[in-house]
Amino acid sequence: MNLKYDNFIFDLYGTLVDIHTDENRPEFWKEIAGFYSCYGADYTPEQLQQKYFDFVMEQEHELAYKLAINYPEIRLEKVFAKLLIKAPVHHDTDSPVADMTEEELTDSQWAKDLSNIFRTLSRDKLRLYPGVKETLDTIKKSGGKIYLLSNAQGLFTRPELEITGLTKYFDAIYISSENQMKKPQPQYMKKLLDEHKLTTTSCVMIGNEIQSDIGIAAACKVDSIFLNTDNLSAIEMRARLSRVIDGYFKGYKPEMVVSGDIREILDICAVN
């Protein structure tokens, strides 16, 4: 198959991977509080949940100010570390983890273990959408390069790429927490384009979020394809698209896959 693009930039969740997580269940925070108690930090589930969201918001505001951007992305490892150190009550423990600094905790095996537990307990669905591997295989066989541009946490996403068997398909992987910014911040896509010396006309962005995926493509003047995996109505799609496009690039028109079936992008990208 001959394709009109050389480079395919994919979103992950809601585009290639069908996932559902729930971090609001009381039982979830009870389990995470139990993990913290093993390292001398005592929280009630309610305290831990509130502090978690407080620290996330605090660090997002600090990073946005520091980088002068609108869409910052923090590393949750830093939040996990601060939660251990700033617990309302500590009890004595022989664990060496309790004596580590915030910086040491952030890059520790402890943070990786907690991230795996946090994600596994909150996740109740993780699977590929129909046709994903078939579509990626076709792009590869046609000589196309495949890039990931995801709004996500690296410690969650890299294991999930391995679990779903997707890692091997990507020529490069960009995860927002590893780059301090997320879509639709234009610099995020520009970093990918610059580091791989890609021209905008040789690329297409494929994603299921109009604001983040189509928005960043419009801001960078890269063609895009919207996958309607959330089954939005035609009215809702037009309304969201209008809000985004007017703010970035008036007159920009992405291709739309109303069915949400990723296999349709091959027909859109085929050279007639």
Q: Tell me the pLDDT tens digit for each residue of 183-219.
A: 999 999 999 999 999 999 999 999 999 999 999 999 9
Report, in this order, helix, strand and coil percent for the chain, each rounded to 5: 50, 15, 30
Among 38, 44, 2, residue whose Cα is nearest residue 110:
38
Examine the pLDDT at 23 and tell me if it is beyond 70: yes
| Bridging pattern class, strands 123-128 and 17-21 | antiparallel
Q: Tell me the pLDDT tens digit for each residue of 43-92.
A: 999 999 999 999 999 999 999 999 999 999 999 999 999 999 999 999 99
Examine the pLDDT at 252 and tell me if it is beyond 90: no
What is the pTM (predicted TM-score) of this model?
Answer: 0.95
Domain map (residue ranges) of the chain: 7-16+129-269, 21-124
| Backbone dihedral angles phi then psi of residue 83, each to the nearest 5 degrees | -60, -35
Angle of CA points 213, 128, 205, to nearest 5°: 20
Q: Return the CATH number of the domain spanning residue range 7-16+129-269.
A: 3.40.50.1000
